[in-house]
Amino acid sequence: MESYKKRLVELVSNLAFEYKDYPAVIPYSPSKCRLCPEDPTPSRLFVPEAFGIPSDALTSLLSALEADEGANVHSIVVSYREQVLLRASRPGYSSLTPHLAHSMSKSVTAILIMLLIDDKKLDTGAAVCDFFPEYTPTDERARELTVEHLLTMSSGVGFGEAGVVSETEWTRAFIEADLSFAPGERFAYNSMNSYILMHIADRICNREYGISAESFLYDRLFLPLGIPRPLWESSPEGIPKGGFGLYLSADSFAKIGAMLLGGGVYRERRILSESVVVEATSTQAITPERTGDFNYGYHIWTAREGNDFLFNGMLGQNVWVSPDNGIVVALTSGNNELFSKGSALRIIREHLLPIRTGARIHRPLRAARALDERVRRFFDSRCWLTPKKPTGGILAKLGLREREPFDPAFDSLLGEYLFPRNNQGIFPAFVRVMQSNYQGGMRSLRFERRGEGLYMTSLEGECEITAELGLYSYKRSEIDLSGEKYAVMAMASALEEDNGSIIYKIELVFPELPNTRRLTLSLSPLGRLLVGMREIPDDRIAAAYVDAIPTLSGKAGFLYGLLERNLGKNFIEGKVRELFSPTLTAISAEAPDRDAALAELNDATDERIASSALVRRLIFSFLGNGEKTKDTGTGALGRLAGLLGKFF
């Protein structure tokens, strides 16, 4: 088994079975080193009826998206070609804020490749290995690998998404990886195909133009479209990640979609040749049915039936383009969707595909008002927290401002609370794993009043994360996680129960990310703070990664089945669920029995770790990681671990 696969299993083991200050298995290097400022002033909105589109159709679309529990849309932009008709965002988000695109980044990488093809600097038949002579393929079939195989996700290379959290030399691991099938044989989605395309483009741009691929793409794509220079996270090798890691706003993505809809032209300026756009947006590979209703072009999804095409990223990121009627929809979301098989995209196609655009139609005043109100109140009915209503005051009476006083219901929560050892953090677990950014578990949670404001500080390892909690609206804060910078919009509420106790709810919205963290707190008279945390998207999104473990090798599949049979079905999934939705108990720093209570909780933690020690020994012995298997125990599981270690 390749070393990165062993490290991946070790990472899962570290997160699921043991509490460590740094559970990552590769060195950490920050990749999001700045905040993403909002785009400049948005372009004007056009009346939908000017292009034959009824406002009622867009009102109905927004209502359907809001009513669907699985959609969880953050922002949506609807355009007719280059004219924006609609912008709507949930509270805490904006269609002008760059949002992590996940695999929509792949489509932008494809545009980079198209630009180089137009410049005759690259050919789809070029051999991949020729660009990286410093590496020698382990599998001879890799020498047949071409740029087209990367573009159509038909490389057959085994090093993929799971490897990025357990390997630092991505290019070497890709070139030297085993192939599951001969290049071109079939479709197999792999983000590392996109990364290698980005690395190839970067080498060409440096050689031919004397600039990086990022700078080339800015000059040739983003600048002509009026898009500010975006943030694109870099790999440990210092190359943009290619298949993911790009931050662009829904407004910006709508412009890119409109450019492709125009055959490579945007506002009378040609960006790409029409021929390369047609090739990229035509079906080049047939995809499995489980991926949804789209096949694959050159890093762009193409409808199995119809002419529409799609950029798609996990957790609900989409740019949908309909050449039949000229409509473009850019969508950022935070749901559990993978590929193009999701409710939001289904709703968009059902509502917008039947529209036949054309001559101006009459716009009833009622329809205009209904659409404006729907935009203004988009997703209000689905909000987890209801903000308090500002009260009066002399300034309010004078019409100068509404008064937002501190809520005395939070008085009893003020103070510091100490946690036993844990593997948790305020920041979403999914993002921490993707970034290999771990702080060392929550040590304390502190609530304090500053004037009329409420602030929460989480101490994780040596890192303090402070956010202002709005009571009447979301309050924006900026946090630094070991060199990575994120914006957070936070709000809190207090609800008194029938028995007089208070339930506190806190929502942390990260407007640049698909991910949200929700906390539910209850405080006992003895100074125990019960902290329930939920992450959205939730543990279901990790299922694909857990399911991938048995496919890493026959050895990993055997081990996975062994654990499931002996420790219970869905054992691994249960551990992952605990990581995403934990419940922790903290002790008030002012509690008279603080030290004894913390010692008792830590003892319970030690017992849980001890109970899983044999499982870890089995895993590491099985994988042949000798330095971690000096003692395999004397029980049946320990003897089995030792036996497997000898044979494997």
Write down the pLDDT at residue 9: 72
The answer to whether residues 621 and 13 touch, using CB atoms and an 8 Å cutoff, is no
Burial of 97 (0-12, 13-18, 19+ CB in 10 A): buried
In the chain, which residues have pLDDT < 50? 626-648
Q: Which two tokens stand for residue 323?
A: 């050449």
- Condensed to tens digits (0 to 9), the pLDDT of residues 246-277 reads 999 999 999 999 999 999 999 999 999 999 99
- Condensed to tens digits (0 to 9), the pLDDT of residues 50-76 reads 999 999 999 999 999 999 989 999 999
C-alpha torsion sign, points 59, 63, 65, 66: positive
Instruction: Classify domain 48-352 by CATH architecture.
Output: 3-Layer(aba) Sandwich (3.40)
Helices and strands (H, E) in the chain, number of each type: 18, 22
Burial of 525 (0-12, 13-18, 19+ CB in 10 A): exposed
Please give the distance of CA 165 from its chain centroid, rounded to a whole number.
14
Rounded CA-CA distance 65/45 in Å is 21
Rounded CA-CA distance 240/234 in Å is 4
Q: Any bridge partners for residue 514, and if so which?
A: none
Write down the pLDDT at residue 569: 61
Beta strands in 81-186 (DSSP E): 83-89, 99-100
The answer to whether residues 457 and 443 touch, using CB atoms and an 8 Å cutoff, is no
Stated pTM of the model: 0.91
Rounded CA-CA distance 262/243 in Å is 24
* Residue with token string 């993929």: 160
Exposed e or buried b per residue across 353-376, where buried means at least 16 C-beta atoms within 10 angstroms of its C-beta: bebebeeebebeeebbebbeebbe
Rounded CA-CA distance 419/397 in Å is 45
Rounded CA-CA distance 413/524 in Å is 10
Q: Where in the chain is the domain with CATH 3.40.710.10?
A: 48-352
Burial of 450 (0-12, 13-18, 19+ CB in 10 A): exposed
The gap between the terminal CA atoms of the chain, to the nearest Å, is 10
Rounded CA-CA distance 352/101 in Å is 23
Contacting residues for 318 by C-beta, under 8 A, at least 6 apart: 104, 310, 311, 312, 329, 330, 331, 333, 340, 344, 345, 348
The answer to whether residues 328 and 81 touch, using CB atoms and an 8 Å cutoff, is yes
Write down the pLDDT at residue 448: 98
